Amino acid sequence: MTDQPVQQNKKRKSPRGLRIIAAVKLFKGGLLLCIGLGLFQLVNRDLAEIARKLTAAFNIDPENHYARLFLEDVVKIQPKALRQFGLWSLVYSSILLLEGTGLWLNVRWAKYLVIVSTAAFVPEEIYACVHKFTWLRLDGLALNLLILLYIIQLVWPRKKTGDK
């Protein structure tokens, strides 16, 4: 008999970096889920009255230029638009929650899903950086590229020299 316990059936714990990415995705997915559900709650409600109550709750002068623009624009929002944004929020939140859960559990399919979903937005982010440069856009692009490269190296690790 050997002194070492057999750990073949135990799942390997996710690396810390993967858990951080998973936690961020779970947070963003939960937040987007709440936003999506909140948008559905606003369908067929008096948005102008809600906006007036909001400005009053935050002690914002309704004659303030930006508050006036807000109050004027909110009445233009159609129920169809709220339903569409609510639906897209729920779809995207489900993807984020799926990715986050899969990464937290360290399953291979989740890593592939993150690679595809992150890589899909890189060309758009590059385009935005080139045509409408801001440091925030560049930071977002750099962060997404780092995440992408990190997860790629987890899925396809480099062979050590001497390995065949």
- Six token digits for residue 73: 């624009």
pTM, 2 dp: 0.79
d(CA 3, CA 47): 69
Q: What is the pLDDT along the chain (164 residues), one digit of tens a residue?
A: 455 544 444 556 778 999 999 999 999 999 999 999 999 999 989 999 999 999 999 998 888 899 899 989 998 999 999 999 999 999 999 999 999 999 999 999 999 999 999 999 999 999 999 999 999 999 999 999 999 999 999 998 876 665 55
**Contacts of range 52-59, beta carbons closer than 8 Å, 24 or more positions apart:** none
